Structure 1
Amino acid sequence: MGRAWIVALLAALPLAACDSIASFNPFDNTERYKTDNTPIVPAERLYNEGLSRLKENDYSGAVKRFENVDRQHPMTDWARRAILMQAFANYEGGQYEEAVSAAKRYMTLHGNTPDAAYAQYLLAMSYYNQVPDIGRDQERSALAAQALADLVQRYPTSEYVTDARYKLSVVRDQLAGKEMTVGRFYLEKRQYTAAINRFRDVVAKYQTTRHVEEALMRLTEAYMALGIAQEAQTAAAVLGHNFPDSPWYKDAFKLLQSGGLEPRENQQSWISRAFRGFTRTVVGLN
């Protein structure tokens, strides 16, 4: 009798197991899983449709066509070109974050191709077109500066370098201007160390901008206020040596005189070291 009970139990297990599996079967819901019946369209046709959409200024429609090329025909030359065109179409349509994503993807996958310089240019311009006014956070300005600098460094012979250099000077001027704005605020609040740190950034990082003359004058002012005469004298001396006709030098000179001092450069100062080999080339700004 015991043997017959075991046989009966073993015979029942498969049925119970089947019932249990059926009740938790993730594949029994035919509505949840559907076969993708999207027809495969030739890559050339999709790509040309994207170009036609671009001519009609239908940028979102163009992006969709180029995305379909990339999705339906991956690892092909059509897909490579389609990624770049996604960046371009998004850029033209003002969708800068999407343009950045597509350009970065192109650089990651195809950074050694002849079109990589253009992808980098689209990346930089997408950031550049988002540069805010001087009173706002300059994160996009910093990203634009880095992308433009990368373009100049990586692709020095590309046709986009001249424009990139000009725009880089504009963005750097913007970043320097922001530092000056914050530095002046600290100076007015008599928070001299905080002010010096801002002006120091301008002198160290943005020497070729129009703001460097004022930064040296403000360093003279802040160091005088702290009683650090040698650094104040050095800042004024460096300002006079590099920008002898600057009105900011005249102000720095008068300030030193009021304290019984005169410009005198300390060659060991960080200010003096920052200007060794200095050559100023400032692009005119509107």
Structure 2
Amino acid sequence: MVLAVSVDLKKSARVAAVIVAAVAGSALITACQNDPDIDITKLTAETDPPEVLYNQGLANLNAGKTTEAARKFEALDRQHPFSEYARKALVMNAFVSYRNGQYQEAINATGRYLNLYPQSEDAAYAQYIQGLAYTKQIPAVTQDQKPAFKAIEAMQAVVDRYPDSEYVDDAKSKIRFARDQLAGKEMQVGRYYLERKEYLAAVSRFRVVVEQYPNTNQVEEALARLTEAYFAMGVTQEAQTAAAVLGHNYPDSQWYNDSFKLLQSGGLEPRESGNSWISRAAKKLVGA
């Protein structure tokens, strides 16, 4: 009789354990359904074959579940580091980081990918993502422009190393944008000096724009500001040359109109001197 009671107690304990497990599993399923970024494939210990993990990552990514997609790609990289799918997962994880605004993580991932697989079919894409990550970090011209330099470097690598890739056109567009930012920074500092009548310091900044960033949207103003600064210093030949070059390249510009009037106020007119650095730099301008 005592034995029967003992057996019944053990059986009841097993039944209770099964019920607890079922309830816990039901709660987990409910939680998964309510989580906005839970794995849409399955919850595993991430021990699936590489192709399965990769496809699960893509499925999550296509569904907008970027956190889960990253988890799958990272698991693939850890567990199958030398597989073809791990290589693909690395560049996809870089894309996920970029999509999530984790730009430094994207840069780190693409840097690692390019070190390991510089000649792979996805190398151009990895380089492009790196350039995009730097471009997204370019601040206003009032701030440090180090990301702009980095963006130019990364996108120029797309153009130089992968000239036949589909990313070249946009890479060139991003380079132009970054160069405009760098030129804008020089203009911002130059205007600061000009307002304080520190003309030599101002000229040095405007000169950088004309010589180093001749095909940017800042050149018109730079030439006008050079006219203004040189005129204020009494260096009339350079002032006349800056205005002449401005008029030759941008004849309908308001900047040229203002420069022309400024020279007229001193009894001068635009006149280019072949000995001027401005005249030599003018050969690289957009309208030259």
Q: Please give the TM-score of this superposition, normalised by the length of structure 2.
A: 0.77
1:268 to 271, 275, 281: 275
Which residues of structure 1 form unaligned runs of 5+? 1-37, 282-286
- Kindly state the Cα deviation for residue 188 of structure 1 after the two structures are TM-superposed: 0.2
Letter of the aligned partner of 2:261 in structure 1?
Answer: K
The whole-number CA distance in structure 1 between the counterparts of 2:95 and 2:187 is 35
SS at match of 1:264: coil
**Corresponding position: 1:188 with 2:203:** no
- Kindly state the Cα deviation for residue 40 of structure 1 after the two structures are TM-superposed: 5.2
Which residue of 1 is the match for residue 7 of structure 2? none
Which residue of 1 is the match for residue 169 of structure 2? 162
**Corresponding position: 1:99 with 2:106:** yes
Which residue of 1 is the match for residue 233 of structure 2? 226
- Kindly state the Cα deviation for residue 280 of structure 1 after the two structures are TM-superposed: 4.7
Higher mean alpha-carbon deviation, 204-213 vs 67-76, is at 67-76
Structure 1 pair 211–268 and aligned structure 2 pair: CA distance change class (3 A): same
Listed as ranges, the matches of 1:128-143 within 5 Å are: 128-143=135-150
- Kindly state the Cα deviation for residue 125 of structure 1 after the two structures are TM-superposed: 1.0
The whole-number CA distance in structure 1 between the counterparts of 2:46 and 2:109 is 25
The whole-number CA distance in structure 2 between the counterparts of 1:102 and 1:220 is 48
- Kindly state the Cα deviation for residue 277 of structure 1 after the two structures are TM-superposed: 4.7
- Kindly state the Cα deviation for residue 187 of structure 1 after the two structures are TM-superposed: 0.3
8 Å contact from structure 2 (residues 242, 272) kept in 1: yes
Higher mean alpha-carbon deviation, 77-86 vs 48-57, is at 48-57
Listed as ranges, the matches of 1:3-18 within 5 Å are: none
Larger % of helix: which?
Answer: 2
The whole-number CA distance in structure 1 between the counterparts of 2:174 and 2:148 is 11
Letter of the aligned partner of 2:107 in structure 1?
Answer: V
**Corresponding position: 1:63 with 2:70:** yes
Higher mean alpha-carbon deviation, 81-90 vs 144-153, is at 144-153
**Corresponding position: 1:53 with 2:53:** no
The whole-number CA distance in structure 2 between the counterparts of 1:196 and 1:42 is 64
The whole-number CA distance in structure 1 between the counterparts of 2:287 and 2:251 is 13
Residues 156-175 of structure 1: per-residue CA shift (max 9 Å, x gap) = 22111222222322232222
Letter of the aligned partner of 1:255 in structure 2?
Answer: L
Higher mean alpha-carbon deviation, 139-148 vs 122-131, is at 139-148
Letter of the aligned partner of 2:65 in structure 1?
Answer: D
Higher mean alpha-carbon deviation, 213-222 vs 153-162, is at 153-162
- Kindly state the Cα deviation for residue 216 of structure 1 after the two structures are TM-superposed: 0.2
8 Å contact from structure 1 (residues 60, 90) kept in 2: no
The whole-number CA distance in structure 2 between the counterparts of 1:58 and 1:96 is 18
Listed as ranges, the matches of 1:165-244 within 5 Å are: 165-244=172-251
8 Å contact from structure 1 (residues 204, 274) kept in 2: yes
**Corresponding position: 1:82 with 2:111:** no
8 Å contact from structure 1 (residues 176, 211) kept in 2: yes
Structure 1 pair 39–67 and aligned structure 2 pair: CA distance change class (3 A): closer
- Kindly state the Cα deviation for residue 39 of structure 1 after the two structures are TM-superposed: 7.8
The whole-number CA distance in structure 1 between the counterparts of 2:93 and 2:195 is 49
The whole-number CA distance in structure 1 between the counterparts of 2:49 and 2:177 is 44
- Kindly state the Cα deviation for residue 102 of structure 1 after the two structures are TM-superposed: 0.7
Q: Please give the TM-score of this superposition, normalised by the length of structure 1.
A: 0.78
1:250 to 257, 261, 265: 257
Which residues of structure 2 form unaligned runs of 5+? 1-44
- Kindly state the Cα deviation for residue 190 of structure 1 after the two structures are TM-superposed: 0.9
8 Å contact from structure 2 (residues 50, 83) kept in 1: no
CA RMSD of aligned residues (A): 2.1
8 Å contact from structure 2 (residues 74, 89) kept in 1: yes
Residues 199-252 of structure 1: per-residue CA shift (max 9 Å, x gap) = 112112222222211100101111122222222122111111111221111211
Structure 1 pair 201–253 and aligned structure 2 pair: CA distance change class (3 A): same
Structure 1 pair 39–238 and aligned structure 2 pair: CA distance change class (3 A): closer
